[in-house]
Structure 1
């Protein structure tokens, strides 16, 4: 199977997984928003932050180094596996005993049980993670997609069942643990034929992986602070209830992009790593990725921007109106982030993760004072605006780094970007016109708004970007 066919097949399976996972995720949020108060979402977001932060240390970026080096040595993989298990256990203990500090910072005693339970995540996740890395390296995306789908179904089922029975914030934590347990078990089942661990632990065998991983850890720490400093400050400065509003607004506007972008990047990176020395091929692939991301992400974000005041009351229910303005700000954060993400494929394909670390350091130097200043002046909305400003600066620096890696590309990028941008303007204009005549916010009017936007964007795309003949050819290839 050619690289193009592998990319198409991988994209198909990961897209299926993402669509199913996204539907379950939004369905879960829509139900929980009617069962739980905003502060519960703020409390759970604190747990999510802790898991994301400590995950940086536990895998040391081995996923990227295993794929980049196309690692197959059983002794090397066994050493990495045992190291990950040890780190996971150690970090789980650290997280367990960190609850007094976290609860004191957020002034929220309910965080005690949440943090203690969350510590189990690290004991669970690293049992099967190396098998996931190997499945990705071998481009077995059907297995990866099946694992994600099963985990999502299990996690959502457990969460909703417990929420209906009054477990409040603990329902989400138990749901996360159930989801990861299912995924870890399946990762071992699907990956067993690729790797059988042995009792071999020799750090000298993984020196190259450790060096590669150190930049990943450094980049991960700085990137975490850069990406989550706003969430940390919202909770500490304003409390868990505003953090709940902020978290759900971010989830609605940013979550789809965080699910869609990895489909492309997860499939693209293992393939690009196979011809990492061909700069011309990398430039073509990078532009193709940007083009695809623009056509997929822009209409979703533009549609959400113009329909936010209709979607929020119907989706979340009453009491969530403060999220509308935040969602519209996060729409632009998502757009800039989506355009920044493909640098990942270039930096790792070129074996230069250091560039990602330096980019995040520069962005963080701008973001910290902005978030603190804007937060004190304008509260939660100011923090969102500071995040938007920092994300835009990150995009500018991002494109500068891309230029050093693959040469001039902006002219072709803007030429490609013009079409989806204009299509979105037409879509937003038509929806706005309809809303000016609609008499109220209800399911019918909101459905019509979404249908108008979808028909206009798809129609323009079929007319000016992807003629039906090309789609038929693509369909045969899939």
Structure 2
């Protein structure tokens, strides 16, 4: 297949996988929210931040370096493989030593055992990580999709079974461990049939990858910290139970970004890497990516914002009604956050991981301060603060990152966001008028009618004002 055909095939398989995985995760969240207390989700949210922070060091940016560098020797791959395994062992030891400190900070003694158990994934993941990366580089997203679906299904079953038998937060922990173990076993088994790993480690083989990867590792670490500082501060300032409610809303909000954005970025990064020296084509692909993501994500977040009063009680029960207003505010945050993701693929494709690091270093001195100040006024104010941060970063991101890399002009970039935003606002006005005139509708009918209006509105208005999205969807569906 041509590069274009491989890319479109990758989009299809990644879409299929992401949708199925999202459904499984939502089912898991809905069931567990009825079986577990908010405090459980608060404890797991803190654990996830600690593990996610350490996760950036596990890979050391090597995966993206492998994709960026078009020619990698067998000895280089072998050396990188064992470097990942070694880093996993070191990280497990460091996180285990830090776990009691985290537990003391939040005054939750149980966090020590929870963090150490989840950190065991660092001893498991590295054995299969490189095979995933090599398949991504070769655009073998069909194989990755099948494994991903299988492992998430197993994690779902394990978590629900243990939650049913009153294992509390450990139901979530055992689900994570089960999914990680199965994924690694499958990738090791299938990967070793295609690639051979020798028992060799040479520092000279990994030096050039580390020079690229260290910036990427630092950038990912800062980015993760900036995106999760709200969780850290809420758990400390407002309590674990409040964090549990906030985390439920945030998990729902993050689902479209976690589903839709990787569908595109996992494919566009290796494609961009292959044409990294063709600035015109890079700009075209990047701008189309922004337009596509905005056109898909904005209507989804509009649906969440409008239907939150019906959606939350139906999915999780009346005990989670406090999450409604948070979900509505964070819907705006999620829509704006979805815009920034593709710039990471662009930076890596151009080999400018250092720019990503400096960008996130700047955010490190901006985001935590804003969130801290807003969090002192309560959970709703903090949520609005998150929205304000995203609004304030759009133009600086264009000026400092996008413009120098692909020479995209101000309006060329902002138009890709403004058009989908305009379309979503028009649809929102129509829905408000319709729902106000039909206030007697049941929750199910409100959800159904809102979904129908948004779907029709997206098709009609994009055909009128944003035809490149329609053309892309046609090519994707029928190629």
* Displacement of 1:415: 3.8
1:475 aligns with 2:477: yes
Range with bigger deviation, 460-469 or 199-208: 460-469
* Displacement of 1:406: 1.1
Aligned residue runs from structure 1 range 68-467, under 5 A: 68-376=68-376, 378-400=377-399, 401-436=401-436, 437-439=438-440, 441-462=442-463, 465=466
Question: Is the CA contact 1:79–1:200 (under 8 Å) kept in the aligned structure 2?
Answer: yes
Ranges in structure 2 where 5+ consecutive residues have no aligned partner? none
Range with bigger deviation, 343-352 or 92-101: 92-101
* Displacement of 1:460: 3.1
Deviation string 1:105-124 (CA, Å, 9 cap, x unpaired) is 11112223211211211111
Residue in 1 that maps onto 2:66: 66
Provide the rounded CA distance (Å) in 2 between the counterparts of 1:249 and 1:455.
27
**SS in structure 2 of the partner of residue 139 of structure 1:** coil
Provide the rounded CA distance (Å) in 2 between the counterparts of 1:473 and 1:370.
43
Q: Kindly tell me: are residues 71 and 381 of structure 1, through their superposed partners in 2, closer, same or farther at Cα, counting changes over 3 Å?
A: farther
Q: Kindly tell me: are residues 471 and 322 of structure 1, through their superposed partners in 2, closer, same or farther at Cα, counting changes over 3 Å?
A: closer
Runs (4 or more) in structure 1 with deviation over 4 Å come to 462-474
* Displacement of 1:250: 0.9
* Displacement of 1:454: 2.1
* Displacement of 1:371: 1.4
Deviation string 1:177-222 (CA, Å, 9 cap, x unpaired) is 1111121122223322442111101112111001111101221221
Question: Is the CA contact 1:286–1:342 (under 8 Å) kept in the aligned structure 2?
Answer: yes
Question: Is the CA contact 1:215–1:354 (under 8 Å) kept in the aligned structure 2?
Answer: yes
Deviation string 1:274-313 (CA, Å, 9 cap, x unpaired) is 1111111111111111111111111101111111111111
Q: Kindly tell me: are residues 319 and 474 of structure 1, through their superposed partners in 2, closer, same or farther at Cα, counting changes over 3 Å?
A: closer
**SS in structure 2 of the partner of residue 72 of structure 1:** coil
Provide the rounded CA distance (Å) in 1 between the counterparts of 2:12 and 2:189.
22
Range with bigger deviation, 131-140 or 187-196: 187-196
Provide the rounded CA distance (Å) in 2 between the counterparts of 1:463 and 1:178.
48
* Displacement of 1:474: 4.6
Aligned-residue Cα RMSD (Å) equals 1.9
TM-score, length basis structure 1: 0.95
Question: Is the CA contact 1:253–1:330 (under 8 Å) kept in the aligned structure 2?
Answer: yes
Q: Kindly tell me: are residues 72 and 193 of structure 1, through their superposed partners in 2, closer, same or farther at Cα, counting changes over 3 Å?
A: farther
Question: Is the CA contact 2:307–2:446 (under 8 Å) kept in the aligned structure 1?
Answer: no
Ranges in structure 1 where 5+ consecutive residues have no aligned partner? none
Q: Kindly tell me: are residues 113 and 475 of structure 1, through their superposed partners in 2, closer, same or farther at Cα, counting changes over 3 Å?
A: same
Question: Is the CA contact 1:132–1:144 (under 8 Å) kept in the aligned structure 2?
Answer: yes
**SS in structure 1 of the partner of residue 195 of structure 2:** coil
User: How many residue pairs end up in the alignment?
Assistant: 476
* Displacement of 1:262: 1.0
* Displacement of 1:386: 2.5
Residue in 2 that maps onto 1:20: 20
Q: Kindly tell me: are residues 382 and 415 of structure 1, through their superposed partners in 2, closer, same or farther at Cα, counting changes over 3 Å?
A: closer
Question: Is the CA contact 1:438–1:445 (under 8 Å) kept in the aligned structure 2?
Answer: no
Deviation string 1:14-67 (CA, Å, 9 cap, x unpaired) is 000000011111111111111111111111111111211111111100111000
